[in-house]
Amino acid sequence: MRNRVPVFICGFVGIFMILKYFSTYSPFAKIAEELEQWGMVTLSFAIVLGVLNLIKINLKAVMERKKDWGYKLLLLVSMFTMMIAGGVKWYREEMAGRATGGLPVAIHDSLFDFMFDHVYFPLSATIFALLAFFVASAAFRAFRAKNVHATLLLVAAVIVMIGRVPIGGAIWKGFPWLQEWIMTWPNTAGQRAIQIGAAIGMIATGLRVIFGVEKPYLKG
């Protein structure tokens, strides 16, 4: 029963999700929408469990002074600070809304907004800026002309980079047109082929899960 009930629930929900998009019978759509609402409620509980699990793992590492425990302590402090600041902002907006007769009121001078705009946002920008160097390093290794495919990739990348900047048109007027052609036709065709392949893989995986061939939800 421990295995059959979850498999039955997964198959039941999956089948109605499929029937919602491939059937015009209205009760199927209503049942699917109700199941989606149940899924949102379940997801809310999953977020709570995820936060509790995060606290448990990191708090244990901090108490035992494991490797990089200082970063884990900073994670916990930052998380609780944002949670408390968000709760205070919500309470202030709720009280302000009641004072105005139930109209929504947005407060932008809270600690939550300050932390988001002056701490989280600059840190995110810094991380993405650092990622640019890793991307450049990976591109340098990938663009080495070791074989025919790598050579084609290198030539296409050079044409696109040169055609994107004003100096490319100054060198040769055909560079902008050539890079536009590469991005419009070969690049779009490749992207669509990847998306179609990924969609087929998702469908196959979904069917295997619905029919109980794979049971990832039963793994610990």
How confident is the model over 142-169, as pLDDT tens digits? 777 788 888 888 889 889 989 998 999 9
pLDDT in tens, 58-68: 999 999 999 88
User: Identity (one letter) of the amino acid at 38?
Assistant: W
Alpha-carbon gap, residue 77 to 70, rounded angstroms: 11
Structure tokens at 203: 């469908």
Alpha-carbon gap, residue 134 to 127, rounded angstroms: 11
Alpha-carbon gap, residue 190 to 120, rounded angstroms: 36
Alpha-carbon gap, residue 126 to 74, rounded angstroms: 18
In this prediction, residue 146 carries a pLDDT of 81
In this prediction, residue 214 carries a pLDDT of 86
Structure tokens at 73: 């302590």
